[in-house]
């Protein structure tokens, strides 16, 4: 009898394993067709010459395309702009996200309505958000110029997206406006997992609101902070819609993803465009892995 049970158990395990493969193989085939195959073809394109359009025969050139895009001044400026977007956006999202989460963690009248309004910017597509904010920053009849002229703060309409650093700040604010609801909800979920007894015990020991926030809230929010940092960084690196809608492909606000689009589709330089895209993908993967390790350490 024990041998019979072992045989039946082995047969059941094999059937379960076969069923698992039957269910997994279609998904693996779909991933290979939609993700892996384009990646392989794109990498092959990135190590080949530009082709007939550029007066040379297609052929293997190794890492020449990667060296070209890394040495290109326009690509370097786009990388620097992207770094500025990331640093400014992530800093604002973390600080404001914690503030909004702490404020909404307390129960008050109209809290549900405030939460619904908070989610609205995140629910809007980024293109729609860009169009709305373009009406705000429009130099001719934009809302911002109209208000400031009416209040006599400025004497003539201002072109807000003409300067370099100023334009980057304004576009970053538009990006933060759309991403902040998600970051706030991440922190709010983290706060709701903290037992109220911890705050009650600290209050009995004489800890005020600031000491509770510093020694209880912030340490217990480390897992949520790692998630918010990961999400905010990856979204800031891939910023595209807001820049394109507000300022097009202008050099003063061009991000690395805008540079990839301009090189690949506007200039029709697919070899250098895909090489730059793979550089961006590699940086994103490294940052994602680093944040994953940080998240794992914060939850251990």
Share of the chain above pLDDT 70, in %: 91
In the chain, what's the furthest Cα-to-Cα distance? Answer: 96
Distance between CA atoms of residues 238 and 262, nearest Å: 15
Query: What's the chain's average pLDDT?
Result: 83
In sequence order, what are the residues at sequence separation of 6 or more whose Cβ sits closer than 8 angstroms to the Cβ of residue 130? Answer: 174, 241, 242, 244, 245, 246
pLDDT at position 83 is 93
pLDDT digits (tens, 9 = 90+) for 184-233: 999 988 888 877 777 777 777 677 778 777 777 888 888 888 889 889 99
Judged on CB neighbours under 10 Å (0-12, 13-18, 19+), 95 is exposed
Average pLDDT on 285-296 reads: 79
Average pLDDT on 230-246 reads: 91
Share of the chain above pLDDT 90, in %: 25
Distance between CA atoms of residues 58 and 61, nearest Å: 9
Average pLDDT on 270-276 reads: 89
pLDDT band at 4 (very low <50, low <70, confident <90, very high): low
pLDDT digits (tens, 9 = 90+) for 28-63: 888 778 888 888 888 888 888 865 555 566 678 888
């Amino acid at each position: 009898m024990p041998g019979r049970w072992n045989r039946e158990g082995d047969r059941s395990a094999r059937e379960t394993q076969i069923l698992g493969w039957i269910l997994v193989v279609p998904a693996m085939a779909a991933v290979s067709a939609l993700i892996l195959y384009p990646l392989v073809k794109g990498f092959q394109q990135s190590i080949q010459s530009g082709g007939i359009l550029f007066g040379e025969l297609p052929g293997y050139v190794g890492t020449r395309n990667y060296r070209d895009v890394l040495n290109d001044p326009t690509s370097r400026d786009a990388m620097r702009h992207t770094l500025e977007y990331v640093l400014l956006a992530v800093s604002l999202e973390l600080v404001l996200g914690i503030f909004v989460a702490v404020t909404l963690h307390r129960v008050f009248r109209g809290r549900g309505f405030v939460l619904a309004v908070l989610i609205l910017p995140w629910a809007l597509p980024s293109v729609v958000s860009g169009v709305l904010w373009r009406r705000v920053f429009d130099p001719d009849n934009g809302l911002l110029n109209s208000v400031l002229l009416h209040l006599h703060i400025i004497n003539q309409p201002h072109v807000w997206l003409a300067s370099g650093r100023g334009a980057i700040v304004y576009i970053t604010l538009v990006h933060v406006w759309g991403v902040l609801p998600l970051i706030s909800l991440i922190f709010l979920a983290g706060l709701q997992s903290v037992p109220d007894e911890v705050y009650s015990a600290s209050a009995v020991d004489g800890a005020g609101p600031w000491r509770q926030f510093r020694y209880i809230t912030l340490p217990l929010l480390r897992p949520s902070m790692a998630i918010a940092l990961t999400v905010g960084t990856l979204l800031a690196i891939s910023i595209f819609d807001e820049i394109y809608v507000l300022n097009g492909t202008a050099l003063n606000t061009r991000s690395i993803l805008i540079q990839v689009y301009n090189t690949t589709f506007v200039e029709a330089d697919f070899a250098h465009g895909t090489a730059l895209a793979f550089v961006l993908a590699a940086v994103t993967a490294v940052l994602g892995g680093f944040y994953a390790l940080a998240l794992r350490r914060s939850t251990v």
